[in-house]
Structure 1
Amino acid sequence: ATLPVPLLIVQHMPANFTPAFAQRLDQQCAITVRHAEDGDSLQPGTALLAPGGKQMTVERRGQQNVVRIQDGDPGLNYKPSADIMFSSVAKLYGGKVLSVILTGMGADGREGARLLKQGGSTVWAQNKESSVIYGMPGAVAKANLTDEILDLASIGPGLTQVFH
């Protein structure tokens, strides 16, 4: 199954783990998954995983949309941060985004999800029952920013339904 849109992944993980994680996802998934590098273009059917210890944003460069990989603010708790990625995606794509917030600690993703919703985008969150840690999806749900709250096993089929 190929995906007719690009996919961006932010996982709170140290820098020494993300290359192997991207490789493992690539082996396990029907779509291509790559460890993102600065300047990579966003391609349908390709997922780009943010490198640990860095911030991933998106911008328009000429005729294409690309990721920027930067050190970012040293004072931030999360590197990479879903909020930072979501806010740049909201600026670039407006209401044409489907974001999914999965299990994770803290409230990273909530403010970015708010910006996406304000722009007319769709926000899904993983439900409490299937989350290891309900912090991130719970923060988004508690702020009433979700269009759907789904069991982990329903998210993949849900995405397939939306994009095919």
Structure 2
Amino acid sequence: AAPAAAPAAHGHANHAPAHPTTTGTAKRKAYKLVAIGTSTGGPVALQRVLTQLPANFPAPLVLIQHMPAAFTKAFAERLDKLCKISVKEAEDGDVLRPGLALLAPGGKQMMVDSRGTVKILPGDERLNYKPCVDITFGSAAKSYGDKVLSVVLTGMGADGREGARLLKQVGSTVWAQDEASCVIYGMPMAIVKAELADAIYSLDDIGRHLVEACL
């Protein structure tokens, strides 16, 4: 991935984390995976977050963006050019590694296993979302227990809430984007209303907090 200048992070006093000790706790956890789910407004939000991560970011990342199949490969390639970390559309059998973000392919489902391997499955017609945040989050909870740092960004609906619930049940961390910086405050609101958010951050601050939590 090509080097890119990180956007300035402008914090707001009223956007303080829900629990001030979140970052300290995060540092002790040694996260094995960062999982980010988003929908409407997600392409810009993901770019804002990922361009703030250094090339030596120590955790693998999985990205779930509601997007048709024809667009995810090009989107991943664009992010890869803009970011210091590497970004690619996930393929079946890809191996998670630090500093690599794998984007779920449109029209399919992405799961992760405890060996650090990605599984790409056909999109289930019974599911509204392909890819679905809940499915990836749920597999991360099963495979990595309390070592997942998950983030729910802007988006319509409530995809991610049930997956976040599973992550919380095994002791993992869940962050939500705040209302003021969302294009659509649907998915993050579902997390907050279900009292699943360990912290609520403005979009401009999420990248910085990821670095603090994982480095």
- 2:183 pairs with 1:132: yes
Q: Tell me the distance in 2 between the aligned counterparts of 1:65 and 1:123.
A: 20
For 1:69-80, list aligned pairs within 5 A: 69-80=120-131
Percent identity reads 63
Q: Tell me the distance in 1 between the aligned counterparts of 2:71 and 2:156.
A: 18
For 1:53-68, list aligned pairs within 5 A: 53-60=107-114, 64-68=115-119
Query: Which structure 2 residue ranges, 5 or more long, are not aligned?
Result: 1-53
Q: What one-letter code is carried by the residue in structure 2 that aligns with 1:10?
A: I
Question: For residues 128-150 of structure 1, what are the alpha-carbon distances to aligned partners after superposition, in whole Å with 9 as ceiling and x for unaligned?
Answer: 00000011011011100000000
- TM-score, normalised by the number of residues in structure 2: 0.74
Query: In the alignment, which residue of structure 1 is the partner of 2:91?
Result: 37
Query: Which structure 1 residue ranges, 5 or more long, are not aligned?
Result: none
Q: Tell me the distance in 2 between the aligned counterparts of 1:41 and 1:47.
A: 11
Q: Tell me the distance in 2 between the aligned counterparts of 1:158 and 1:98.
A: 11
Residues 107 and 123, structure 2, Cα contact 8 Å, conserved in 1: no
Q: SS of 2:87's equivalent?
A: strand
Q: Tell me the distance in 2 between the aligned counterparts of 1:79 and 1:110.
A: 16
Query: When the two structures are aligned, how many residues end up with a matched partner?
Result: 161
Query: In the alignment, which residue of structure 2 is the partner of 1:94?
Result: 145
For 1:109-148, list aligned pairs within 5 A: 109-148=160-199
Higher relative helix content = 2
Q: What one-letter code is carried by the residue in structure 1 that aligns with 2:146?
A: G
Aligned-residue CA RMSD (Å): 0.7
Query: In the alignment, which residue of structure 2 is the partner of 1:19?
Result: 73
- TM-score, normalised by the number of residues in structure 1: 0.96
Q: SS of 2:204's equivalent?
A: helix
Query: In the alignment, which residue of structure 2 is the partner of 1:159?
Result: 210
Q: Tell me the distance in 2 between the aligned counterparts of 1:55 and 1:129.
A: 30
Query: In the alignment, which residue of structure 1 is the partner of 2:31?
Result: none
Runs of 4+ that moved beyond 6 A: none
Q: Tell me the distance in 2 between the aligned counterparts of 1:134 and 1:5.
A: 27
Query: In the alignment, which residue of structure 1 is the partner of 2:58?
Result: 4
